[in-house]
Amino acid sequence: MALFRKTEQEEQGLPVPAHLGIIMDGNGRWAKKRGLPRTAGHAAGAKVFRTIAKHCEKRGIRTVTFYTFSTENWKRPQAEVDAIMDLLRQYLKESLADFQKENIRTRFIGDRSALSADIQQLMQEAEESTAHKTGMDLNLAINYGGRAELVNAMRRIAEQVQAGKLSPEAIDEDCVWQHLYTAGQPEVDMILRPSGEYRLSNFLIWQCAYAEYVFEDILWPDFTVRDLDKALEEYGKRHRRFGGL
């Protein structure tokens, strides 16, 4: 099954990645350049997120994951954390009506237990009201960390072993895949990170084992659909070998 995930994009000759991960970076610098508070950068970034998410669907991408808030982002000043949570709240409220028009299934990945109760409720409604959609999967990574995801998977696997439902010999790559937040979704073919930073920052670390990286020197709030098309073109030129020749 893991092998199928790796070659699916190639076998089907898809012109675009089956799973694209996007690190929305550069909001703070964008605001600073304009003499605005960092929160204005996040607000501009949230608008771009909507435009780019819709464009991903148009381009036939099956799964896209946006890095929205990491397990490390709690270290930011409280006012900035609150502003990001407000944007998320606003997006969820507005989108609940909008979701009906689109063929997009929304999923939240990360530990939502640390989020406020109203946001958790909105997330659940967003997931439930889009669960039947058959188009693109839109993952929002919130309070997400790749290491935390693996710890969570290991804990759940260990519980099954302890309960006698799983033998240690049955733990293989497929078993790990099935316990990730992205269970059932393709592995990540491409990571896009704008803003001139060249890091993965604890994003989808298991799923990215064979991902192609495209870095752009553009701050996220300036990112356009044309920039996404260019990045996809760059991805299309890559020769993927998955360890073979």
State the residues that interact with ligand FPP by CB under 6 A.
24-29, 42, 45-46, 49, 68, 73, 84, 87-88, 91, 140
Minimum distance, C-beta of residue 52 to ligand FPP, in the bound complex (Å):
10
Minimum distance, C-beta of residue 76 to ligand FPP, in the bound complex (Å):
8
Q: Is 73 a catalytic residue?
A: yes
User: Residue number with the shortest CB distance to ligand FPP?
Assistant: 28
Q: Do the beta carbons of residue 217 and residue 197 sit within 8 Å?
A: no
Interatomic CA distance for residues 239 and 77, integer angstroms? 42
Indicate the residue type of 144: Y
Nearer to ligand FPP, 43 or 190 (CB): 43
Largest CA distance in the chain: 59
Nearer to ligand FPP, 42 or 62 (CB): 42
Minimum distance, C-beta of residue 70 to ligand FPP, in the bound complex (Å):
7
Q: Is 217 a catalytic residue?
A: no
Catalytic residues: 25, 73
